[in-house]
Amino acid sequence: MAATLFYSRLGCELLEPEEARYAEIPRQMLEQGRFVTPVLHGDDYYQKPPLLYWLVMLSYTIFGVHDWAARLVPCTCGVFVVLLAYWWGRRAIDCTTGLIGGLILCLSARFVYLGGMVAMDAPLCLWVTAALALAHLAVTEKRLAWWLLSALACGLGVLTKGPVAATLVVVPIGTWMLLNRQCGRFRWKWWLLYAGVTVATALPWYATAALRAPEAAGDFFWLHNIVRYLAPFDHEKPAWFYVPGLVAGMLPWSLLLLPMARDWIWRWRGSAARFYEAGPNEERTKRALKFFVIAFAWCLLFFSLSGCKRAAYILPAFPLLAMALGTYLVHGMAVTHWRRWVWGFATVYVVLLVASLQLLPEYHRRFGMRFQVQEQADVAVNMPVVCLPKRWNSVSFYLQRGVDVEKEESLAKSGPALVFVKRETALEGMLHALPAHWEFVPRGGQRKNVAVGVIRPKRSESRHALPEPRP
């Protein structure tokens, strides 16, 4: 089910600006043979660590440079998060809990949508979920190997998006261990091992980047982590920004939050004895549910306190909430007749699959630029390509070549050019700045907000005719 929902999106176009940027950076790295320093249009790009770029470069090497090859990486991460949730619930409690938790996660529309975006968030969600699951099971079952694997996953998360991964992992693990009396064996030596493996995984690239570009490395830690969190300079949202998206994005499963909250309140008052009726595994279930809730609450609190908020940042919270809801459904509500629930799961799956096959591609066609760019490939071979007023990475990605950004007044100085220009003010400014004997000839399909055409001397003054638009 997870594979059909995620991989049905592989044919969708890249969306501007984020998806196109994170697909174009590994293309340029692969083209220039730069495997350590991310590069974008000739400039070093140290705003994010390189693990996503490396994975996309590997996909390009195997399958070729395509938008679906770039999207294959986050979609595969989404599938593995679902499988990991199932394995975690099965190992921590029982098979039914793992299956229901994995189904709830797999059939959450917002998780499927955000998890299929070409961005850092899906790989980060995979590494954070893996680190939390392995650490929880390591403490529960006293397995050092899983503890070290958790540290490795945490290090890969740091190599994906920076220190945020360690923050999302270490705080809930430490809190749960303090509240769990059976964790006395995990002393400071275990934490030193954890820190050592995490640092050893991420440090080589960070040290190399700091040696090559000290100022860029400083900007990454200070500007794009601390300043962006404490004093945001973009994407500023209110503290409650993520709550509606979580609740609406996990419908109908988020409706279980109401009876779950009610039972928690009754239990605290001592008037509900049924909430943790889990038979011989009652204590094990209580501890697992407590960990799910602590990890989810910290993830939601951490991102809610951040000044800079984007919808996909909250993605690591979805598996944790799904596991908590799955545990409550199986053991709190003590469901025994699953026939109606099976029909419910099947209905939601069909709805999501139809939406993934029909609505989502149409949404990407509306806001993507693939067909608009590809139909200009014959003209782009013989003349410069210019974007106004900014560079669209979709243009350089689908043409697989460099793209310039020019000012209106300097366009005609370099001769005829293929121009992608934003409508309204930018298009009007370009037409006003063109010399009187030059013209803008629209070509091919036109998007709502981007016009494409050729600027050239007017036909009576032009020596060479340019190719006409294809029908």
The whole-number pLDDT of residue 78 equals: 95
SS3 180: coil
Bigger pLDDT: 216 vs 416? 416
Bond into 17 cis (ω within 30) = yes
- What is the reported pLDDT for 42? 81
User: In this predicted structure, what is the pLDDT of residue 462?
Assistant: 45
pLDDT in tens, 395-449: 889 988 877 776 655 666 667 888 888 887 788 888 887 888 888 888 876 666 8
Q: Worst-scoring range by mean pLDDT, 170-174, 233-237, 437-441?
A: 233-237
Q: In the prediction, which pLDDT does 275 show? A: 47
Enumerate the domain spans of the chain: 2-364, 371-461
Which pLDDT does position 8 carry in this prediction? 92
- Is 406:386 a contact under the CB 8 Å cutoff? yes
* Whether the predicted pLDDT of 464 surpasses 60: no
pLDDT in the model for residue 379: 80
For Cα atoms 463, 467, 468, give the angle at the middle one, nearest 5 degrees.
115
Distance separating alpha carbons of residues 369 and 106, to the nearest angstrom: 29
- Rounded distance, CA 55 to CA 74, Å? 10
- pLDDT averaged over the chain? 84
Confidence (pLDDT) at 463: 45
Q: Which two tokens stand for residue 122?
A: 């899906």
Q: Average pLDDT for residues 267-294, to the nearest whole number?
A: 68
C-alpha distance from residue 45 to each of 21, 216, 218 (Å)? 11, 8, 13
Helix axis angle, 214-221 to 188-212, nearest 10°: 130
Q: Which of 62-76, 162-176, 412-426 comes out lowest in average pLDDT?
A: 412-426
- Strand order of the β-sheet with 438-442 is 404-405, 385-388, 417-422, 450-457, 438-442
Please state, for a pLDDT cut of 90, what percent of the chain lies above it. Answer: 41
Rounded Cα gap, residues 74 and 59, in angstroms: 11
Split at pLDDT 50, 70, 90, the class of 55 is: very high
Per-residue confidence at 294, pLDDT binned at 50, 70, 90?
A: very high
Q: Which of 412, 393, 374 lies closest to 17 in space, CA to CA?
A: 393
Residue 388 sits at φ, ψ, to 5 deg, of -140, 140
Structure tokens at 244: 């509606």
Residues 353, 360: Cα–Cα separation, whole Å: 10
Full-model pTM:
0.88
Per-residue pLDDT tens over the stretch 80-118 = 999 999 999 999 988 999 999 999 999 999 999 999 999
Tell me the range of 134-138, 223-227, 383-387, 428-432 where mean pLDDT is highest. 134-138
Mean pLDDT of the 303-329 span: 90
**Is 338's pLDDT higher than 80?**
no
Query: Which range among 43-57, 209-223, 318-332 shows the weakest confidence by mean pLDDT?
Result: 209-223
> Tokens 């050019």 belong to which residue?
417
pLDDT at 225 over 70: no
Question: Using DSSP, how many helices (H) and how many strands (E) does the chain show?
Answer: 22, 7
> What pLDDT sits at residue 272?
45
Residue that wins the pLDDT comparison between 413 and 174? 174
What is the reported pLDDT for 341? 85
Residue type, 370: R
- Of residues 382 and 1, the one with the higher pLDDT is 1
Is 371-461 a domain of CATH 3.40.190? yes
Distance between CA 339 and CA 361 in Å, rounded?
33
> Mean of the pLDDT values across residues 221-226?
64
pLDDT of residue 409: 59
Band (pLDDT 50/70/90 cuts) for residue 273 is very low
Averaged pLDDT for residues 256-280 = 63
> Residue 366: which pLDDT band, with cuts at 50, 70 and 90?
confident
What confidence category does residue 146 fall into, taking pLDDT thresholds of 50, 70 and 90? Answer: very high
The enclosing H or E element of 378 equals: helix 377-380
Indicate if the pLDDT at residue 279 is higher than 60: no
383 burial class (0-12, 13-18, 19+ CB within 10 angstroms)?
middle
Question: How confident is residue 147, by pLDDT bands cut at 50, 70 and 90?
Answer: very high
